[in-house]
C-alpha cells in the first residue's frame, strides 16, 4: 500500500514538474517575442525588404517582393511587386505624415496611426497575411498560446523559433504562426503563418532581409508624387 502511494505521488510530482517546465518555456518564448516587438515598435525608423510566398492547398498562389520604410511618428513608404495566380501585380503606398496615397489614386487624409499599424503588422502577422486575410483597419490582433520552438539556422543566422496563435477577431479559424528570431539581434528573420479551414489551407511565408532600425532616411522618400 505504501509503495503504491509513493508511486502515485511520484507520478503526480512528475506531472506537476512537466507543467511547470512547459509554462516556463512558454513564458520565455513570449518574453523573447515581446523584446523583438519592443525594438521595432520603439525604433525611430524601420527599413525592411520582404520576400513573400502564399500557397493555397500546397500550390503556389502568390509571390511578391516588398520593401517598407517607416518613420515615426507617421510616415510610410511601401512598394510591392509580384504575381498573383500567374498575373503580375504591384502597389506603392506613401504617407508623408498628413496625407496618404495608394498607387495612382488621389491623396487622402492619413490616419494618425499608419506607421504604427504597419509596425504591428510586421511583428504580429506579416504583410502577406495581412493582405491575404483582408484584416480591416484598426482591428485588434491578439497573440496567444506562445511556445518555444527549435533553435536552428534561418536566413544565414542562428535563430530561436517561437510559435504562437493569431486571433484577428474574424469567424475564420485562428492562425498558427512560427517566427524565427535572430539570437544576436533579437530581430525577426522569417515567419510562416498557417490558416486551416475545412476546405482549404493557406500558408503565408515571409523572409525578412536587411532589417534596419534607427538609420537615417532621406526625407524625400516620403514626398507624395505630384
* 18 located within any domain: no
pTM: 0.85
Write the CA distances from 90 to 87, 94, 103, 136, 209, integer angstroms: 10, 14, 9, 20, 19
The answer to whether residues 207 and 53 touch, using CB atoms and an 8 Å cutoff, is no
Radius of gyration of the CA atoms of the chain, in A: 21
Distance (Å, whole) CA 226 – CA 112: 22
- The partner residues of 94 in beta bridges, in order of sequence, read 77, 101
Residue 10 lies in a domain: no
Q: Is 182 within the bounds of a domain?
A: yes
226: in domain? no
- Cell numbers 493557406 correspond to 202
Asked if the structure places residue 98 within a domain, the reply is yes
In a domain, 1, yes or no: no
Asked, for residue 15, whether it belongs to a domain, the answer is no
Neighbouring C-beta atoms of residue 130, cutoff 10 Å:
21
Distance separating alpha carbons of residues 100 and 34, to the nearest angstrom: 29
- At 68, which CATH number? 2.50.20.20
Count of structural domains within the chain = 1
Does the residue 206 lie in any domain?
yes
Task: Report the candidate in 75, 77, 70 with the shortest Cα–Cα distance to residue 40.
Answer: 70
Q: What is the pLDDT along the chain (226 residues), one digit of tens a residue?
A: 544 443 434 444 444 445 556 788 899 999 999 999 999 999 999 999 999 999 999 999 999 999 999 999 999 999 999 999 889 999 999 999 999 999 999 999 998 888 988 999 889 988 877 776 655 455 567 899 999 999 999 999 999 999 999 887 766 667 899 999 999 999 999 999 998 888 889 999 999 988 999 999 999 999 998 7
Range of the domain at 72: 26-220
Amino acid at each position: 500500500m505504501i509503495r503504491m502511494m509513493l508511486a502515485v505521488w511520484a507520478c503526480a510530482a512528475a506531472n506537476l514538474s512537466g507543467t511547470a517546465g512547459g509554462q516556463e518555456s512558454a513564458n520565455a518564448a513570449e518574453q523573447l517575442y515581446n523584446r523583438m516587438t519592443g525594438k521595432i515598435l520603439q525604433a525611430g525608423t524601420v527599413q525592411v525588404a520582404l520576400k513573400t510566398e502564399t500557397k493555397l492547398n500546397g500550390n503556389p498562389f502568390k509571390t511578391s517582393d516588398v520593401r517598407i520604410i517607416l518613420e515615426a511618428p507617421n510616415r510610410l513608404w511601401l512598394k510591392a511587386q509580384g504575381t498573383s495566380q500567374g498575373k503580375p501585380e504591384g502597389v506603392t503606398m506613401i504617407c508623408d505624415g498628413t496625407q496618404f496615397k495608394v498607387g495612382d489614386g488621389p491623396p487622402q487624409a492619413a490616419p494618425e496611426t499608419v506607421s504604427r499599424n504597419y509596425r504591428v503588422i510586421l511583428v504580429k502577422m506579416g504583410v502577406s497575411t495581412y493582405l491575404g486575410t483582408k484584416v480591416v483597419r484598426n482591428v485588434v490582433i491578439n497573440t496567444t498560446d506562445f511556445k518555444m520552438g527549435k533553435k536552428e539556422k534561418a536566413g544565414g543566422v542562428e535563430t530561436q523559433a517561437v510559435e504562437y496563435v493569431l486571433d484577428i477577431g474574424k469567424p475564420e479559424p485562428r492562425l498558427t504562426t512560427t517566427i524565427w528570431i535572430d539570437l544576436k539581434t533579437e530581430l525577426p528573420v522569417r515567419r510562416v503563418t498557417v490558416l486551416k479551414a475545412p476546405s482549404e489551407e493557406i500558408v503565408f511565408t515571409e523572409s525578412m532581409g536587411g532589417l534596419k532600425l534607427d538609420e537615417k532616411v532621406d526625407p524625400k522618400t516620403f514626398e507624395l508624387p505630384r
